[in-house]
């Protein structure tokens, strides 16, 4: 079942990536499996006219894509949605920055549980992803494949007998699959080991990106790690390597770094954690980067047992609620409509009134 609408985006209080659950959740915040697909007989998005892009949209929206789960897909037309709603989708990792900033005909379909989302007319005709909490790449892969099979039963997909699935970017040709995990790596950052991780990732054909993926910086010590190789290797081999070798190795490095911090500088670590908590509980103004940094240290303190009176779920929720569009939803009278218009420069979204409301929100949540 699916329905369309240009209504205000209504999402759950937290998204799948922000839930503190799933395997290895102390380090692995979320797992994502994403597939790129293009419709045969129509030009790629970067070569298509607006008329052709609307044709893609209309075709995809009429396909019977709902599965046995009876999941309802809600379609959101980004051309007719507000800047705040578009930003909200971006902050929840349901759309990419490129998709957010485009002015061409485009839409996103979101399942009830927000674990499945489908962008239409991003870089490819379809970008479909399943996002789950913790290290659950195998389940994410199973669910996105389930959706892909329904798609291919009902649409003619561009595929070559030798090169595999055809995509707008050559790096996606082949399986057109991206496996990625969002990792919380404060231990590696505090022990100055992140550069070693980046070098090792390059050798393994991995991409290490920031909080919002490609083109973004790290925020709150969150990093996204994904495969770059899609041609000449099967999806099952990629998944086996990612789940069986790469991610466990990074998780082990991060836990080892945390152990080193406790062993060599326990007092300094405790001081950093409690200073961060003290700032969040007393600050009257909080910028977005400052709040993310301090929340990251509090999250580390909870994971290591240094803080026992704060639920991890509270901190996880705050990572989402301190973002500009979510802050507006929590405090609807706090920000001018124009404050959310610019989406390429986060500093423009952080005026004094916004920082004050963010501080009020965080202080209240951590003092309960």
Greatest CA separation found in the chain?
64
Asked if residues 220 and 323 have their Cβ atoms less than 8 Å apart, the reply is no
SS3 138: helix
Residues of the chain with pLDDT under 70: 1-20, 67-71, 213-217, 229-232, 331-349, 368
C-alpha separations of 47 from 40, 125, 176 in Å? 14, 11, 19
- Give residue 73's pLDDT: 86
Task: Report which of 283, 260, 246 is spatially closest to residue 135, judged by C-alpha positions.
Answer: 246
CA distance 63 to 155: 8
| Residue 1 burial (CB count, 10 A) | 10
Asked if residues 168 and 123 have their Cβ atoms less than 8 Å apart, the reply is yes
Listed in sequence order, the residues at least 6 apart from 261 whose beta carbon sits closer than 8 Å to its beta carbon are 187, 190, 191, 268, 269
- Give residue 215's pLDDT: 52
Both structure tokens of 121: 């007319």
Task: Report which of 247, 307, 303, 250 is spatially closest to residue 276, judged by C-alpha positions.
Answer: 307
Residue 24 backbone zone (phi > 0: left; psi -120 to 50: alpha; other: beta): left
SS3 172: helix
- Give residue 8's pLDDT: 53
- Give residue 307's pLDDT: 95
Q: Which helix (H) or strand (E) holds 224?
A: strand 222-227
- Give residue 288's pLDDT: 93
- Give residue 229's pLDDT: 66
CA distance 255 to 272: 18
CA distance 132 to 62: 27
Distance, CA of 360 to chain centre:
26
Asked if residues 250 and 225 have their Cβ atoms less than 8 Å apart, the reply is yes
CA distance 88 to 98: 14
Asked if residues 181 and 225 have their Cβ atoms less than 8 Å apart, the reply is yes
Asked if residues 21 and 134 have their Cβ atoms less than 8 Å apart, the reply is yes
Number of helices followed by number of strands (H, E) in the chain: 12, 11
pTM for this predicted structure: 0.87
CA atoms within 13 A on the CB side of 87: 24
DSSP string, 226-267: EE---SSS-HHHHHHHIIIIIHHHHHHHHHHHHHHHHHHHHH
- Give residue 15's pLDDT: 66
Distance, CA of 241 to chain centre:
22
**Which residue bears the tokens 């030798």?**
162
183: exposed, middle or buried (C-beta count within 10 Å: 0-12, 13-18, 19+)?
Answer: buried
CA atoms within 13 A on the CB side of 328: 20
- Give residue 255's pLDDT: 96
Distance, CA of 130 to chain centre:
10
Asked if residues 339 and 82 have their Cβ atoms less than 8 Å apart, the reply is no
- Give residue 341's pLDDT: 43
CA distance 130 to 64: 18
């Amino acid at each position: 079942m699916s329905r369309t609408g240009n209504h205000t985006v209504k999402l759950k209080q937290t998204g799948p990536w922000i839930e503190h659950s799933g395997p290895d959740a102390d380090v692995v915040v979320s797992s994502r499996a994403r597939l790129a697909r293009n419709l045969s007989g129509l030009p790629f998005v970067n070569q298509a006219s607006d008329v052709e892009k609307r044709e893609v949209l209309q075709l995809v929206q009429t396909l019977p894509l709902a599965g046995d789960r009876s999941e309802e897909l809600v379609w959101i037309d980004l051309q007719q949605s507000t800047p705040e709603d578009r930003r909200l989708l971006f902050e929840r990792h349901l759309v990419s920055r490129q998709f957010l900033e485009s002015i061409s005909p485009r839409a996103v379909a979101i399942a009830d549980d927000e674990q499945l989302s489908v962008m239409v007319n991003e870089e490819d005709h379809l970008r479909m992803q399943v996002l789950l909490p913790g290290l659950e790449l195998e389940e994410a892969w199973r669910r996105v494949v389930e959706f892909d099979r329904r798609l291919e039963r009902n649409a003619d997909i561009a595929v070559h007998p030798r090169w595999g699935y055809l995509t707008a970017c050559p790096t996606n040709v082949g399986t057109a699959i991206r496996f990625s995990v969002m990792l919380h790596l404060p231990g590696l950052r505090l022990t100055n080991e992140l550069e070693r991780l980046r070098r090792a990732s390059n050798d393994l054909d991995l991409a290490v990106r920031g909080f919002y993926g490609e083109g973004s910086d790290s925020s709150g010590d969150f990093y996204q790690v994904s495969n770059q190789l899609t041609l000449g290797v099967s999806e099952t081999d990629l998944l086996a390597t990612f789940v069986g070798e790469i991610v466990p190795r990074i998780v082990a490095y991060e836990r080892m770094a945390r152990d080193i911090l406790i062993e060599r500088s326990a007092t300094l670590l405790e001081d950093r954690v409690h200073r961060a908590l003290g700032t969040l509980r007393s600050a009257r103004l909080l910028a977005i980067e400052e709040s993310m940094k301090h929340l990251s240290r509090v999250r580390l303190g909870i994971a290591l047992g240094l803080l026992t009176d704060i639920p991890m779920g509270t901190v996880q929720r705050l990572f989402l609620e301190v973002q500009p569009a979510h802050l507006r939803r929590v405090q609807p009278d706090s920000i001018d409509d124009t404050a959310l218009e610019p989406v390429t420069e986060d500093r423009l979204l952080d005026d004094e009134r916004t920082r004050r409301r963010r501080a009020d929100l965080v202080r209240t949540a951590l003092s309960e």
